[in-house]
Amino acid sequence: MRKAVYPGTFDPVTNGHIDVIKRGSIIFDKLVVSVGCNPLKEALFSVKERMQMIQEHVKNLKNVKVDCFDGMLVDYLKKQKTNIILRGIRTVSDFEHEYQRALTNRVLNKKVETVFVMTSEQYSFLTSTLIKEAVSLGGSVGQFVPPGVERRLIQKFKHLHGKNS
């Protein structure tokens, strides 16, 4: 059985992420979408909220599980009993960054393999950061995120702005 881990911050999950998840679910027998806790990034949504948003939109994919991890990805892979990482690539600059990560992971564990999937072209410009910025400025992002995610973003920014007023 081929099992892979698709790690990310998913803050929030976008249609580009869902595209990679759906395509990964075809390639692998089992796919674990794992929300990572990165101490260098300040997340808008909690890990639990991010996991819920992903779960809502992959529940029809029977071979996809949503999980979370902190610490080193290579250690998490051991716990998941796999050596395969799935990563989505949007642009050449993504590839350069992901290539460095893949090589680092391979140095940390020479059995680790990273599989890159090109994001569908209609999502090639999407980033969670741009989506958060657009919503914070009053923009509509419903076409870029799964149903319900835009509503959660609007609520989160209203709450944040309410605290700062």
Positive or negative, the CA dihedral 88, 129, 103, 80 is negative
| Catalytic residue from among 34, 57, 128, 132 | 128
E strands, the chain, are 3-8, 30-37, 64-70, 84-89, 113-118
Phi, psi of 77 (to 5 degrees): -60, -40
| CA geometry: angle 95, 122, 21, nearest 5 deg | 65
Q: Which of 50, 87, 90, 132 is catalytic?
A: 90
Query: Is 46 a catalytic site residue?
Result: no
Active site residue 128: yes
Of residues 2, 41, 111, 151, which has the active-site annotation? 41
φ, ψ for residue 23, nearest 5 deg: -70, -35
Residue 12, preceding peptide bond in cis (omega within 30° of 0): yes
> Is 17 a known active-site residue?
yes
The verdict on whether 41 is a catalytic residue reads yes
Given the residues 17, 50, 57, 132, the one annotated as active site: 17
Residues classed as catalytic: 17, 41, 90, 128
